[in-house]
Amino acid sequence: LRTSLVSLAYDDISWTEFFSNMILPVSAASVINAAMLFMYYSSELFPGASGFCECLGIVFSGNRTPEMLAQEHAYHARNVQAIHVEESSAGWSVWSKIQIVLVTIFLVCFAVGLDVCVTSISAGAILMVLAAWKRQHYDPRPEIVDYDAEGNALPPKKMYDMDGNEIEPEEEELVTESETTLTEVDYGLLMLFIGQFILIGSFDDTGVPQAFFNLAMGGCAAQMTAVPCVYWFVLVITILSNVASNVPVVQMLAATFPYATPYDWMQVSFSATIAGNLTMLGSAANMIVAFQAAKVGDRTFTSERHAPFGIPSTILCLYAGTALLSLVHFSPECSVKLGECDDQ
């Protein structure tokens, strides 16, 4: 999505045009990725399964192996032993429905061509205000209870003044957004993106990216997205995306090729997005997942474990999608900014 939004910012590419071009290559890449996911992680997703067919049976018919049942029983046993057990709510909550409505409106506004930045900021602000109101007036207050060494709840402590009169506890303060939402913002990640964009912006002014692409593309520099040059072009984008991350690379390409055609941007958007899955450093999303998993104690999502699956799946998805996009696309192969499309 991030690279797609960056690509859409440089030419008048509508949401429907972008969707019509991407539906076929993205669907093919999704099928390939799902198939390789089954092959590589089947022992972890379906412990005890004897083969691919049994895995499909588990997915579509709800069958369970003895190993899966043992894990489910252990999970439920841990929940029973927990001090607080949350009651499962039936159906969608009213807050979930409101969020679905707001997200749907956001997508509709994006699809009809409203400004991307204004639409995104407005939707985010409304969701933040809604979450704050819900937390202040609807969610139950967190209970501050102390426990002894055996796990028994201790009664609240009472305080007395000099005359022996009990001091009434002060009213519970409201939980503010500075204690909840603002503390959950990943400021390190924000600084990472800010630094990347400043660095790439300064790097573009040197003229080195332009010279590098002309040298790397060689005789294909004038016809980057023409077959067979497009396959070398997406390889260069893939390598750069895993060196500097995919979003800064798209920003660099925008400065390097300011008069690229809408079809060129389709290829850039698809290849840069898929290339982010090659290694852990290819996309900030990979690092976010690894950091969040580490916070809950799961440190198995590493570069060593990701590479045997990420490299072959990314290469297959990248070139299969690129081939399909080169065969079936609806964007013009003329520069909008140069006015070449006016004559067509």
Convert the pLDDT of each residue in 66-125 to its tens digit.
Answer: 777 887 777 777 665 544 444 444 567 788 888 888 888 888 887 787 777 788 888 888
Give pTM, 2 decimals: 0.70
Q: How far apart are CA 240 and CA 243, in angstroms?
A: 5
Q: What is the mean pLDDT of residues 59-66?
A: 77
Between 19-33, 161-175, 276-290, the lowest mean confidence (pLDDT) is in 161-175
Residue 50 pLDDT > 60: yes
Confidence of residue 216 (pLDDT cuts 50, 70, 90): confident
Greater model confidence, 46 or 8: 46
Give dist(CA 326, CA 25) in Å, integer.
10
Q: How high is the pLDDT of residue 169? A: 63
Read off the pLDDT band of 309 (50, 70, 90): confident
Q: Which residue has the higher pLDDT, 32 or 302?
A: 32
The most confident of 31-45, 64-78, 319-333, by mean pLDDT: 319-333
Q: Does 313 or 56 have the greater pLDDT score?
A: 313
Q: Averaged over 260-272, what is the pLDDT?
A: 85
What's the one-letter identity of residue 244? A
Residue 179 pLDDT greater than 70, yes or no: no
Q: Tokens 């300064």 label which residue?
A: 202
Separation between Cα atoms, residue 182 and residue 178, nearest integer Å:
5
pLDDT in tens, 135-157: 777 776 666 666 666 667 677 77
- Bridge partners (DSSP) listed for residue 159: 167
The single-letter DSSP state of residue 147 is B
pLDDT of residue 329: 87
Q: Name the phi and psi angles at 153, rounded to 5.
A: -70, 135
The closest of 284, 282, 255 to 192, measured between CA atoms, is 284
Tokens standing for 167? 């001091």
